[in-house]
Amino acid sequence: MATDLRVSLIDRCNFRCTYCMPAEGLPWLARDDVLRAEEVERLARLLVRLGVREIKLTGGEPTVRPDLAFVVARLRAIDPEIDLSLTTNGYLLDRLAGPLAEAGLDRVTISCDSLLRHRFAEMTRRDALDRVLAGVDAARAADLTPIKVNCVVIGGTNDREAVAFAELARRTGAEVRFIEFMPLDADERWSGDRVVPSATLRRRIEAVFPLRPADRLAPQPAQVYRFADGAPGSVGFVSSVTEPFCDTCNRIRITADGQFRSCLFATEETDLRGPMRSGADDGDLERLIRTAVAGKWAGHRIGRADFVRPGRSMSMIGG
């Protein structure tokens, strides 16, 4: 059974990153279709019993959900030992970091695609770099560490900033993770020639800051490197397109509307919300989950002629 669960808490977002959603947003879910806090807790409790050890809250943008701290507290109460984290664009972290830490959140991953104000604004369609960097500081002050910074790299846009991001890692002690652009943008503008292979970025960084592979504590999608000179921080590479890691992937997902997915790229989902709202007991839900996990496929086929895009884009699935 998978050990790493990603739960999308909401499909809405206060940013409009070009590689994720269109400027006008998407047709949002009706509020009643989104899982309530107690429903998220019930599914998480069941999955923890089945072996989940890490829960990551995501979206859409999870911090725009008004009851986020309440959800965190309910999940923390399931088991004090699970690794409970949040992926966020960081825009609201300056005021939320403290309350979330108090509710029991362990750490955050903050997305930041450029350290240049104009490019950040161009990529996210929000002039918000300063606020996001303030969010990183607030997360550090609230001890939501180790902090990870997610940077989606798009050819011809931010790919020349790899060394600047490595400097950010060295300065703040964060793990900066470079993510290859995946064909999960709602606009369907993805093309292979806009994917910058992780190997290229790593070479650029190594020319300035020699790297050494970090010790791996658990299988994870990012290949992580530390700085050979012993500086703090690290860089990680999520090479979903050029070096897929499907063989070792142990992630499962629940969307904001309660659909269970065994892969980011899955074209099929298993409805858990419907059965849950019509009286299914935990045994029924467990059977649905086990069947879905057993059907997990060998791997996606990005770049091949038979690749099929999932019916929903990244923010609807929960990245």
Which of ligand SAM, ligand SF4, none does 16 bind, CB closer than 5 to 8 A by kind? Answer: ligand SF4
Mark the segment that binds ligand SAM (CB under 6 A) among 54-62, 224-232, 262-270, 300-308: 54-62
Name beta bridge partners: 4.
Answer: 54, 251
Cα dihedral: 61, 64, 67, 73 (round 10): 40
Name beta bridge partners: 226.
Answer: 212, 234
Q: Is 315 helix (H, G, I), strand (E, B) or coil?
A: helix
Cα–Cα dist 179/194, whole Å: 12
Neighbours of 34 (CB within 10 A): 22
Between strands 211-213 and 223-227, the pairing is: antiparallel
DSSP 116: S
Cα dihedral: 164, 167, 169, 173 (round 10): -160
Reference 242, options 306, 180, 299, 290; nearest CA is 180
Closer to ligand SF4 by CB, 4 or 185: give it.
185
Q: Is 201 in the site for ligand SF4 (CB under 6 A)?
A: no
Cα–Cα dist 155/208, whole Å: 20
Identified binder of ligand SF4 from the candidate list 7, 10, 13, 71, rule CB under 6 A: 13
Q: Is 85 in the site for ligand SAM (CB under 6 A)?
A: no
Closer to ligand SAM by CB, 250 or 315: give it.
315
Q: Is 7 in the site for ligand SAM (CB under 6 A)?
A: no
Q: Is 183 in the site for ligand SF4 (CB under 6 A)?
A: no
Q: Is 59 in the site for ligand SAM (CB under 6 A)?
A: yes
Size of the site for ligand SAM (CB under 6 A): 20
Cα–Cα dist 174/234, whole Å: 7
Q: Is 59 in the site for ligand SF4 (CB under 6 A)?
A: yes
114-143 footprint of ligand SF4 as x/- string (CB under 6 A): ------------------------------
Min CB(113)–ligand SF4 separation in Å? 9
Residues contributing to the site for ligand SF4 (CB under 6 A): 13, 15-17, 20-21, 59-61, 89, 111, 315
Residues contributing to the site for ligand SAM (CB under 6 A): 13, 19-20, 58-59, 61, 87-89, 111, 150, 152, 179, 181-182, 184-185, 314-315, 319
